[in-house]
Structure 1
């Protein structure tokens, strides 16, 4: 019986939470694993009665978590940190595993506060130094980790999986959809500018709408987006929505747009493929690695190019039908079964660990 302890506190986060829920949902049923999960009190029982739940009170990234993790992580064969906020103090484990999803905090270091800059530089460096296995989610992120940390160890690329394809039976409306956290690197401001431009220059678009789903923080960027939209009826900020509402939006939208300038993977692309929703996307970072030729790409720094690609997509319905089929085929390359098997191999110390590169073409 292999004793494995995992920091599962980010279960309720959007991207990492989905990653954790999917992998842990399978690990809890493995008979050769004795699983201990570090969780917040409200997360006890999330995976039933199988795992040993260890309650942690400290918040992620806090100084307090370092002492609490040191005291509460049990003696084990493997400890897995699913994010770069690893425990710095020595642990009673034989092997340490970390997943570094991206290097956002290093890539945009100058945009962070002084404290966050110090934290990010220290913890990325220590995550690489202290871990026996380093996992990431794309070839792009692998190259970024090596670039920004100088990592000499093997970085194991394991692609995320995507949802299974579901035929879209909804009545398609004239609307463009974005789903994600509304942060500066998501570049939603340029997408809004492009949409407003094409609406102003093309009266035939009439009641076409841009639906923006996701958390909007009360910070400088959040206020900028709010101010851009407050006088318009055709750019709709929904905030977070429940699962059924989100499914309805995927089913009834004409296009999905992903204007990000930085992504470690790009899971929303696969989620859109799975709903039969064609994708317009930035050509930056890892997104072409995930989307391949099943996506219409634009330069995320050019409002004009974003607008041109929007108009091209809206005016040519035959492209939409073709991309739905290409997306359906592309989705087959990214399965959670493969993702789970590769992680399990690392945690159990067996078999093949890394995915082969997936062709963009």
Structure 2
């Protein structure tokens, strides 16, 4: 089987959508290596060194670099036909024009409709572009993959997509989070990043929707020996968080880390007392899966898909209630049995995200369309 993929996020994005794109390619190449996976990338300065261990993954670039935007949205179809691609998978909310006319079956992964639910967080023009792309893909793809039941529900309720055309297929986190880090390595990491002895952890872009201010407000109500480590790209919202920290004399207890090595991330997770993710809304919530895989209890926000990512053993709070969050943090920190139960439950829950299971679902979906 020859399957084509939109490679924009594969080579240019190193957070959520890019991680998903690379993850899909890796598990397909690992569990179904007999197929050919061609990644269509508009920028020719990237190459297959992203996947040297997977010979079934190939990269294809446009011959004319001057028209790469047109090529990605429409001109790519000519190359798909030339390469005899049997199915095309748009990995990040969009597909090119003209696939149906060319007789090429297509799948699109829709990650979330946050831009539609929370328009205040997006510039007007960006919002309209996102909506156009998602609506077009939802209407013209032969099958839609939603990364959560929440995203599936949003597609049905907001865009009137026929439920029968949507299949929920989760994603897993990188296997690096499932390996126990040695005590020697933990010591090195603790020293390298000047980590406190006992800390809560939050990972993700520091933006309004992610709601890290709620954790800082809760921290004020906790014992002084409990610290907070926040890892993520800073935005204008970060200053709001830092102003609250300064105004409430919490500077010594909140630690912002940037440019953390991906290889060091599991060692930081595994030293945290609790992972806290109070985001107002997510499409799935991979950091929650990373935390559970690292053996860390999770407290997340109610109201979106985080219950799917975190399972029944995690705790969920109102994303606007810092008192409730503080109470639940104290409960977990002061109750060893509760904490151990949450960790065990987390390990049981992440079986639902096994790479084999997800690869099987993807391949079966492809087979049914060809």
Mapping of residues 192-207 of structure 1, within 5 Å: 192-195=216-219, 197-199=220-222, 205-207=223-225
Q: Which residue of 2 aligns with 1:190?
A: 214
Query: CA shift at 1:335, angstroms?
Result: 0.8
Q: CA 1:266–1:68 in 2, change beyond 3 Å: closer, same or farther? A: closer
Pair 1:125-2:135 in alignment: yes
Q: Separation in 1 of the partners of 2:264 and 2:166?
A: 38
Q: 2:95 aligns with which of 86, 90, 113?
A: 86
Mapping of residues 151-170 of structure 1, within 5 Å: 151-152=161-162, 153-162=164-173, 163=175, 165-167=178-180, 170=183
Q: CA 1:293–1:52 in 2, change beyond 3 Å: closer, same or farther? A: closer
Mapping of residues 4-23 of structure 1, within 5 Å: 4-11=3-10, 12-23=13-24
Query: CA shift at 1:320, angstroms?
Result: 1.1
Q: CA 1:207–1:57 in 2, change beyond 3 Å: closer, same or farther? A: farther
Q: Separation in 1 of the partners of 2:155 and 2:62?
A: 29
Pair 1:310-2:329 in alignment: yes
Q: Which residue of 2 aligns with 1:178?
A: 202
Q: 1:244 aligns with which of 255, 263, 271?
A: 263
Query: CA shift at 1:207, angstroms?
Result: 2.9
Pair 1:41-2:44 in alignment: yes
Query: CA shift at 1:247, angstroms?
Result: 2.0
Query: CA shift at 1:347, angstroms?
Result: 2.2
User: Which residues of structure 1 form unaligned runs of 5+?
Assistant: 200-204, 352-361
Query: CA shift at 1:274, angstroms?
Result: 1.2
Q: Separation in 1 of the partners of 2:4 and 2:360?
A: 18
**Number of residue pairs matched?**
339
Pair 1:227-2:243 in alignment: yes
Q: Deviations over 1:184-217 (max 9, x none)?
A: 221111121221x214xxxxx2332100011113
User: Which residues of structure 2 form unaligned runs of 5+?
Assistant: 187-195
Q: CA 1:341–1:216 in 2, change beyond 3 Å: closer, same or farther? A: same
Contact preservation (8 Å) 2:6, 2:90: yes
Pair 1:70-2:74 in alignment: yes
SS in structure 2 opposite 1:332? helix
Query: CA shift at 1:66, angstroms?
Result: 4.2
Report the TM-score when normalising by structure 1.
0.85
- Structure with more of its chain in helix, by fraction: 2
